[in-house]
Amino acid sequence: MGSYRIYRIADGGRLVVGEAFDAKDDGEALERAKRLHDGKAPLELWAGGRLVGRLSKLGLFTAGPG
């Protein structure tokens, strides 16, 4: 189990406080982020200090740097 957080990216690139949750791995965490994505703003998925990736407004996922 790992601790994850989903942040909404507001206008101007500012991160808005997100939802914290536990998931067994990045894949499970990404599925949760996709369910919460509403298409109004991009989302970032973080595991501690590691950027897992970003969901665009259109819901396209881009993996983080590592």
Mean pLDDT in consecutive groups of 10 residues from the start of the chain, 66 residues: 94 86 97 92 95 95 91
Residues facing 44 on adjacent strands: 7, 54
pLDDT score of 18? 83
pLDDT score of 16? 87
φ and ψ of 33, to 5 deg? -60, -40
pLDDT score of 17? 78
pLDDT score of 51? 96
Residues facing 42 on adjacent strands: none
Q: Does residue 43 contact residue 49 with C-beta atoms inside 8 Å?
A: no
- Domain ranges across the chain: 1-41
pLDDT score of 9? 93
- b/e burial code for range 11-42 (CB count within 10 A of at least 16 → b): eeeeeeebeeeebeebeebbeebeeebeeeeb
pLDDT score of 26? 97
